[in-house]
Amino acid sequence: MNDDQWLGAMLKYRGKEFRYSDSLEGGELELARSLEQRTTECPKRFAALAERMPDDLPANYFDSILRGVAESGHADASFRDQEMATILIRRAHSLPSRPCGRTIGWLIQRWEKII
């Protein structure tokens, strides 16, 4: 998916739960898991996407990007980008009620030896 499609999917599936009927239909958590995996593979792209995400999207999506970036930088030195991580942390911390604090702390802990 391109970035606009990711944003559209986040809007479409926010607040929706997984349903099992004649066909499987994922929900917000399933999309968030997929987002985290894709972020691990391409952290700079999804950190930049977080800048475009509206504040009223579920914190799950922001947390997924934070976790994906944390894992990418921890696992592969080529993904370590202090400026990218700082911008992402500031973006997530700017959300109303600051719902991503725990995940921000986790990213910092994972990267503490490299930042």
User: Hey, how many other C-beta atoms are within 10 angstroms of the C-beta on 88?
Assistant: 28
Residue 98 vs residues 45, 94, 95, 102, 104: alpha-carbon distances, Å: 23, 7, 5, 10, 10
Does the predicted TM-score (pTM) go above 0.75?
A: yes
Q: Would you give per-residue pLDDT tens digits along the chain (115 residues)?
A: 999 999 999 999 998 775 554 545 578 999 999 999 999 999 999 999 999 999 999 999 999 999 999 998 766 655 578 899 999 999 999 999 999 999 999 999 988 766 5
Interatomic CA distance for residues 79 and 88, integer angstroms: 14
